Amino acid sequence: MNKTVLSFLCHPDDTEFMCAGTLALLKAKGWDIHIATMTPGDCGSTTHSREEISKIRRKESANAAAVLDGHYHCNELEDVFVMYDKPSLTRTIEIIRKVKPTIVFTASPQDYFIDHENTSHLVRTACFACGIPNVETPGAKAYSVVPYLYYADPLEGKDIFGSKIDPKIIVDITSVIETKGEMLSRHKSQRDWLLAHHGMDEYIESMKRFAAGRGSQNGCKYAEGFRQHLGSSYPQDNILKAELENLVTEKQ
């Protein structure tokens, strides 16, 4: 089995908030780690230009991935303009074909921001289309395996109407919470941005509070939640359970 996992979310730091703990556990099991974002986070600043903050955040993302000896990829779309269209989808398929992942994590189909939701739809289609030879991508050939696809939690665990979205799969990340925090801390530019735009401080502590909430659903200190895509042609077994064993709880 090709032990490569790809977290393909929307913005720099989304992976670190939502699934970096599970990536760290997989790393310990011998998996190669790849992190991709749809955008470089070009609107994530009140003081830098788009070009300046993009350069900063690409470097921060690479530094975060490096904590797990991982690789970072950027799809180079624009914040607020992540569209479900042919150019964006072609670029998304290209990244997946180049990485050749067995497991893919992406954003929740229901989330607070349309960029996240469109990311979810793009990655979902790309996982299905990556093995179709007549779907052409520059510099990347069709990759014949449909990856296991998991949706991470939405921000604050709720949809745009405030309804809770309960994960079906809970991963105990207590043993790697400090690694998750270290990865998040590499996104230094975002503490000031979140404080200015969202009134949100305690960058790492807010991540830990959410992880603690998910942990309380599983009798552990910290956890991450997921839902698995089980549509036709996608793998039907839960490879996270097979790889991480007693750290994974499946909910009915």
pLDDT tens column, 75-104: 999 999 999 999 999 999 999 999 999 999
Contact predicate 9/155, CB 8 Å: no
Residue 109 vs residue 197, higher pLDDT: 109
Residue 56 phi/psi, 5-degree rounding, is: -65, -45
CA distance 91 to 84: 11
Produce one character per residue of 74-113: b if its CB has 16 or more CB atoms within 10 Å, e if not: bbebebeebeeeeebbbbbbbbbbbbbbbbbbbbbbbbeb
Query: Rounded distance, CA 71 to CA 35, Å?
Result: 6
Q: How far apart are CA 92 and CA 123, in angstroms?
A: 7
Q: Is the pLDDT reported for residue 225 higher than 80?
A: yes
Q: DSSP 3-state assignment of 65?
A: helix
CATH superfamily of 4-250: LmbE-like (3.40.50.10320)
Q: Is the pLDDT of residue 197 over 80?
A: no
Q: Residues 116, 10: contact at Cβ < 8 Å?
A: yes
* Token code pair at residue 210: 């959410």
Residue spans of the domains in the chain: they are 4-250
Nearest to 251 by CA among 238, 242, 233: 238
What pLDDT shows up at residue 188? Answer: 86
Helix (H) or strand (E) holding 97: helix 86-99
Average of per-residue pLDDT values in the chain: 93
Q: Is 67 helix (H, G, I), strand (E, B) or coil?
A: coil
Q: The sheet that has 103-106: what strands, in order across it?
A: 71-74, 32-37, 4-9, 103-106, 148-152, 223-228, 169-172, 248-250
- In this structure, which amino acid lies at residue 156? E
- pLDDT tens digits, 114-161: 999 999 999 999 999 999 999 999 889 898 889 999 999 999 999 999
- Structure confidence at residue 228 as a pLDDT band (50, 70, 90): very high
Residue 195: pLDDT over 70: no
* pLDDT at residue 198, rounded to an integer: 65
* CA-based radius of gyration for the chain: 17
* Reported pTM: 0.95
Alpha-carbon distances, residue 85 vs 10, 20, 94, 150, 226 (angstroms): 15, 28, 14, 22, 26
The sign of the torsion formed by the CA atoms of 101, 106, 109, 113 equals: negative
For residues 226 and 106, the answer to whether their CB atoms sit within 8 Å is no
Nearest to 22 by CA among 10, 31, 13: 31
